[in-house]
Amino acid sequence: MEKAWLFFNWASGRKNFKHDKYTYTTMLDIFGEARRISSMMYVFEQMKEKGVKIDVVTYTSLMHWMSNDGDIDGAIKLWKEMKAKGCRPTDVSYTAYMKILFDHKRVNEATYVYKEMIGKGLTPNCYTYTILMDYLASSGKVKEALEIFNLMQEAGVQPDKATCNILIEIFCRTSEIWAIFEILKYMKENFFVLRYSIYQKALETLKLAGESDILLRQVNRHFSEEHISEDTDRYDAIFPDNDFNMENGLVLYLMNKQNLVAVDSLLADMMDKCVPLETMVVSRIIELNSARHRQSSALLAYEYSEKLGVNIDRAAYLSLIGLSIRTNYFQKVVEIVEKLVKQGLSLGTHLNSLLIYRLGCNREAASAAKVFDLLPDNEKSTAAYTALIDAYFSSGNTDKGLETFKTMKSEGVNVALGTYCVLIAGLEKYSKTRELEYYRKEKKRLQSEGCFQNVPMEETICNLLFAGEFTANDAR
């Protein structure tokens, strides 16, 4: 650390050299890791004095080290300062701040930050979900943690190896055997393995509980040589000696070895020669490539499924939708949703609304409307209608937004508090005074009519997405 600081100062005195935000942030990290917080803040003040642009990365680093030293109030102060300075938090900074709050038992504040992140149109990443599950599992809320584990996959975000290792370690500590098996099943399907230290903990936990360790050893065969012969028998059973199964086995083998470039080449050749693969195999190719942000490869597998008439599963469609949104490929989103619906699959009320809302956040009202029109009538819920209204307002089309609201009422769809919040916010933005006063009165009438107990789930989802301060506790 001392040498780094000496070099930093030496470089400052060099002719034609000037420290930038990257070198300053690196020096901040060095002091932070060494718990030299006063020195870290001294460097930060130097950045300000010299007019170096301070971005969200620098603030996130400062908050992390401040919290790591036990100064939660200092971390919160930096978060507020960052926002006041006009630095827009990213999904990474939101996630880091949530972890800081959870680590210091500020659960309500962390929950508010998560809702704010969603409200800004940012998509939770794998690490965001991992932090939520870490908190829930460590608090004894194992069922809720596994619900999020499943929900994130439905949202097109696949748990990675690190997530699985974290959860297994927590479940070993709390002796939640059934939860360990749930994660191990997922790991087996996705070719993930445990770190050796956690493998040993899991082995010991299962032994103490008197449970079989067969699944654990199957997932982590590289730790157990006695299963080599069993492994050979297993693949012989799954892939008999015929051309069709040999192709499936080869693709799975290459994915297991993480040789995705070879999978791309093989798949392109199979598409030219019309060689069919199983639904599970094609779906896994799409999911794996989407998780690795390999858009062209995921779309190649999708094109293959279309050309050869292979129906991919729901998780693969969700992965493609998530990837297309992250890369702003909105036209492809509509196409994928259309294929999903034609196959008789459903996104579900929650994801329908989130998808339309996310398209609206990107001012893609036309795409949002197309997705809405593709939904079966029984899925055109309160939340879905409200998300579409919000999309029109976000695009500046207030007339279409009001027209959609009238259609919603004429179809007998319940109007929620979140719906009025969207209407009022949109009308305020575009100075529609006459309509604004009317809907303010309607909102007050709805609020005064009674308590919010026994609110249907679709209205609760709408309120959570659009009603701001309206919380899940209010809905109960």
Q: Are residues 255 and 274 in the same domain?
A: yes
Residue 103 inside a domain? The answer is: no
Which band of pLDDT confidence, cut at 50, 70 and 90, is reported for residue 474? very low
- For a pLDDT cut of 70, what percent of the chain falls above it? 92
Largest CA distance in the chain: 77
The model's confidence at residue 469, banded by pLDDT at 50, 70 and 90, is low
Candidate ranges 8-12, 245-249, 370-374; pick with highest mean pLDDT = 370-374
- Do residues 17 and 81 share a domain? yes
What's the whole-number mean pLDDT along residues 254-273?
88
The residue type found at 246 is: M
Average of per-residue pLDDT across 43-48:
93
**DSSP structure string for 316-350:** HHHHHHHHHHHTT-HHHHHHHHHHHHHTT----HH
Query: Domain end: 337, 364, 390, which one?
Result: 337
Terminal Cα distance for the chain, rounded: 54
Instruction: Give the model confidence (pLDDT) of 115-127 as tens digits.
Output: 899 888 888 999 9
- Within a domain: 251: yes
**Domain with 260 in it:** 245-337
Token digits for 244? 């069709």
Residue 445 has pLDDT above 90, yes or no: no
Task: With respect to residue 314, please indicate whether it lies within any of the assigned structural domains.
Answer: yes
pLDDT at 233 over 80: no
Residue 229: predicted pLDDT: 41
Q: Is residue 355's pLDDT more than 70?
A: yes
Q: Is residue 204 part of a domain?
A: no
Distance CA 118, CA 324 (A): 18
Label residue 203 by pLDDT band (50, 70, 90). very high
444 in the same domain as 352: yes
Please say whether the beta carbons of 455 and 409 come within 8 A: no
- The mean pLDDT value for 399-420 works out to 90
- Estimate the crossing angle of helix 314-326 against helix 279-291, to 10 degrees: 30
pLDDT of 226 reads 42
User: Picking from 12-16, 338-342, 458-462, which range would have the lowest pLDDT averaged per residue?
Assistant: 458-462
* CA separation for the pair 91, 122 (Å, rounded): 6
Is residue 289's pLDDT more than 60?
Answer: yes
The chain-wide mean pLDDT, for the chain, equals: 86
Query: How remote is the C-alpha of 21 from its chain's centroid?
Result: 29
- Global pTM reads 0.50
154 in a domain, yes or no? no
- As for how many domains the chain has, the answer is 3
Specify the pLDDT at position 44: 94
Amino acid 155: pLDDT: 83
Q: Which residue has the tokens 């300053």?
A: 24
pLDDT at 454: 65
For residues 300-328, average pLDDT: 90
Q: Which of 293, 313, 337 is the last residue of a domain?
A: 337
- Given 3-state DSSP classes, what are the helix, strand and coil percentages for the chain, each rounded to the nearest 5? 75, 0, 25
pLDDT of residue 282: 92
Of residues 331, 366, 337, the one with CA closest to residue 352: 337
CATH number, domain of 32, equals 1.25.40.10
Contact, 371 vs 337, CB < 8 A?
yes
Report DSSP state, residue 123: P
pLDDT at position 242 is: 43
- Average pLDDT of span 231-257: 60
Residues 258 and 327 in one domain: yes
**Same structural domain, 355 and 448:** yes
**Is there a single domain that holds both residue 325 and residue 391?**
no
The tokens for 160 are 């990675």
Report yes or no on 100 lying in a domain: no
79-98 as b/e: b if 16+ CB within 10 A: beebeeeebebbeebbbbbb
Give the range among 146-155, 178-187, 445-454 with minimum mean pLDDT. 445-454
DSSP-derived 3-state class of residue 211: coil
Residue 18 clears pLDDT 50, i.e. is over it: yes
| Single-letter amino acid code for the residue at 113 | V
> Do 99 and 75 form a contact (C-beta atoms < 8 A)?
no
The answer to whether residue 124 sits within a structural domain is no
Does residue 368 share a domain with residue 304? no
* 455 has pLDDT over 90: no
State whether 305 and 356 are in the same domain.
Answer: no
CA 262-264-266 angle, to 5 degrees, is: 70
220-240: burial string, b at 16+ Cβ within 10 Å, e else: beeebeebeeeeeeeeeeebe
CB 386 within 8 A of CB 422: yes
Which pLDDT band, with edges at 50, 70 and 90, does 137 fall under? very high
Whether residue 383 is found in the same domain as residue 434? yes
The C-alpha atoms of residue 330 and residue 344 are separated, in whole angstroms, by: 22
Give me the pLDDT at residue 239, please: 42
CA 458 – CA 46 distance, rounded (Å): 52
Same domain, 471 and 357: yes
* Dist. CA 36–CA 53, nearest whole Å: 23
pLDDT of residue 241: 40
DSSP character at residue 375: S
**70 and 17 inside one domain:** yes
Average of per-residue pLDDT across 41-58: 93
Question: What DSSP designation does 468 have?
Answer: T
Nearest in space to 206 (alpha carbons), one of 167, 179, 234: 179
Quote the pLDDT of residue 141.
Answer: 92
C-alpha closest to that of 104 among 50, 152, 63? 63
Residue at 226 is within a domain: no
DSSP code of residue 440: H
Which DSSP letter does residue 227 get?
A: G
Domain end residue (candidates: 46, 68, 88): 88
Q: Is the pLDDT of residue 12 over 50?
A: yes
302 and 263 belong to one structural domain: yes
